[in-house]
Structure 1
Amino acid sequence: MSAYNNVRDLELVLDGYLNQLDNDFSLCIADDGSTHEVTDLIQKYSQTNLTIRHIWHEDLGFRRAAILNKAIKSSTADHIIFTDSDCIPSPHFVADHRKFASTEHYTVGIRVYLKPYLSNCFRNGSLTPSRLFNGFWLLSQSLKERVSKPEQALRYPGFILPIINRLKPDLTIFGSNIAMSLDSLLKVNGLDEDFEGWGYEDTDLLWRLEQIGLTSQGSLGRCCQYHLDHKENAPNPHAFNLFKQKQEDGKIYCDNGINKKA
């Protein structure tokens, strides 16, 4: 889980991981240089039944790729789920990802967008996140324009999923909700740390995973998270050109990844 300051959102998200139906997982906070408040919060949650480790580096600007690589390197898990500290997981989140886990695919989860009013209600405690897991309530909030894409979160019965998934458009890929085997990440040397500033580090990673044969998979109503509204990061204006150049170069095992080129 990438994180940077924003303690209240992180608290809501950690509560979501406390309430997973499948609790056989460990959580790594990949901290891109937060202040001590995040450390204090993690110490608090370390006293719960969550297994948490905290990986931190100095704040030298947006270096998400670098801190995620440190987190990957610290893991002994067979499968890695990437998420963010502003995305509340559904109670089925880990269980769904486990069911999809494969060495031949990477999994794309879905995201529901909470607009400012609802996001602030959860932050100030006037609403509890458990409301999000009621599909009828979520749809009612959509009618009030307080949430977008709630239909993606409806937990459709398993027998109808093949029909729904044939009718749906392709799932949008977010770096906050993708998963793949640790082995596949090591084969491409993780994220490319040449990407500094916001944007394209995830796109580049998935492109390289596809070059070694992985394909995407996912489903509506599964692997769901709820994104708290916040000010968007300023994108790196050079990231797209860097990504296109790396595609042209065709290097699948990046030089500046988990293991650095000597």
Structure 2
Amino acid sequence: MPEKISVIVSTYNNPQVLEMVLRSLAAQRRRGSTAYEVVVADDGSGPDTAALIGRLRGELDYPLLHAWQADTGFRLAESRNNALLAASGDYVVFIDGDCLVLPDFIATHARLAQAGCFVAGARCYIKKRKTAAILAAPQRWWRPSRLPWFFRALLGGANRPFQLLALPDTARRHRHPGRWQKVQTCNLGVWRADIERVDGFDATYVGHGLEDSDFILRLLRAGLRRKSGRFASVVLHLWHPRPGAVQSPNVGRFQALLDSGRTLPVTGLAALRDKAAAA
């Protein structure tokens, strides 16, 4: 099991929801000796987010770090690299800043962690009306738990209710060891050494989409295997409007990766580390 987990939470100008996520991470049932920290990967939020993190540092019982970069557009890949430079865990779990976690989230990722694998967790989408109710009284929802949410989902509050059931580990967790499709960084566990092996995320991805697919494909090419966290590790994804279909330049970037045999990004962690050292 990992000695220390770094949870990297991505955010941009959404402090109310970020507070809910950070408080759900404080409601963990600790099992074993796995410690954890949380690093907020901030893609240029305004001062309200910094003020929130400063206040919560004195309230929450885990180390809370803030990795901020200037707002020059949607740069999620580089934002996560910034957070990786600040993180100190030997295992890293990535989630989005609008995903609440269950009380066994850290313990489940610690149990699922396995040498030679990354763990692709699941998510349940909370419906629009239920999300509005949560945002109207957020204190009631800081501690989401598995069984009540299973029944809420069954009654229409969220999709994929059966993902909220915790099933035993079987060989089915390794059914698709080489598949990069549908692995997303809203719930993903990776050993830090393996992240370093592929030099982190590719910071040339700007705008929405495919930076996570690029990362996963390079992990697979480096010899990692996909392990499923379905029916074990799940996040509760709050509803928000989705961007319309846009032909992103990231499509061409990802196609270039598919056409190559690369395991390293065009611009990754090493370049950011060198830039920080020269500053």
Contact 1:152–1:221 under 8 Å retained in 2? yes
In the TM superposition, what are the counterparts of 1:58-137 in structure 2 within 5 Å?
Answer: 58-125=70-137, 128-129=140-141, 132-135=144-147, 137=148
More off after superposition, 251-260 vs 81-90:
251-260
After superposition, the Cα gap between the structure-2 partners of 1:236 and 1:132, relative to the gap in structure 1 and judged at 3 Å, is farther
Letter of the structure 1 residue corresponding to residue 208 of structure 2: W
Which TM-score applies when normalising by structure 1?
Answer: 0.89
CA-CA distance at 1:256 after TM superposition: 0.4
Letter of the structure 1 residue corresponding to residue 214 of structure 2: D
Matches of 1:126 and 1:187, distance apart in 2? 40
RMSD (CA atoms) = 2.5
CA-CA distance at 1:84 after TM superposition: 1.0
Counterpart of 1:18 (choices 14, 26, 29) is 26
CA-CA distance at 1:130 after TM superposition: 6.5
Q: Does 1:162 align with 2:173?
A: no
Matches of 1:39 and 1:145, distance apart in 2? 35
CA-CA distance at 1:145 after TM superposition: 2.9
After superposition, the Cα gap between the structure-2 partners of 1:69 and 1:219, relative to the gap in structure 1 and judged at 3 Å, is closer
DSSP 3-state at the match of 1:26: strand
Matches of 2:138 and 2:26, distance apart in 1? 20
Letter of the structure 1 residue corresponding to residue 195 of structure 2: L
**C-alpha distance after superposition, 1:189-234 (max 9, x if no partner):** 1000111001000000000000011011123331111000012245
DSSP 3-state at the match of 1:28: strand
Instruction: Determine what percentage of the aligned residue pairs are the same residue.
Output: 25
Matches of 2:119 and 2:154, distance apart in 1? 30
Which TM-score applies when normalising by structure 2?
Answer: 0.84
Matches of 1:163 and 1:250, distance apart in 2? 29
Contact 1:199–1:236 under 8 Å retained in 2? no
**C-alpha distance after superposition, 1:3-61 (max 9, x if no partner):** 10111111111110110113720000010000111111111110121211101011001
In the TM superposition, what are the counterparts of 1:85-234 in structure 2 within 5 Å?
Answer: 85-125=97-137, 128-129=140-141, 132-135=144-147, 137-156=148-167, 158=168, 161-162=169-170, 172-233=182-243
**C-alpha distance after superposition, 1:58-107 (max 9, x if no partner):** 10010011111111122221111011110000111111111112230000
After superposition, the Cα gap between the structure-2 partners of 1:163 and 1:66, relative to the gap in structure 1 and judged at 3 Å, is closer
Contact 1:112–1:224 under 8 Å retained in 2? yes
**Structure 2 unaligned residues grouped into runs of 5+:** 1-8, 275-279
Q: How many residues end up aligned between the 2 structures?
A: 257
Letter of the structure 2 residue corresponding to residue 182 of structure 1: R
Matches of 1:191 and 1:143, distance apart in 2? 36
CA-CA distance at 1:186 after TM superposition: 0.8
**Structure 1 unaligned residues grouped into runs of 5+:** none
Letter of the structure 2 residue corresponding to residue 219 of structure 1: G
More off after superposition, 23-32 vs 200-209:
23-32
After superposition, the Cα gap between the structure-2 partners of 1:248 and 1:95, relative to the gap in structure 1 and judged at 3 Å, is same
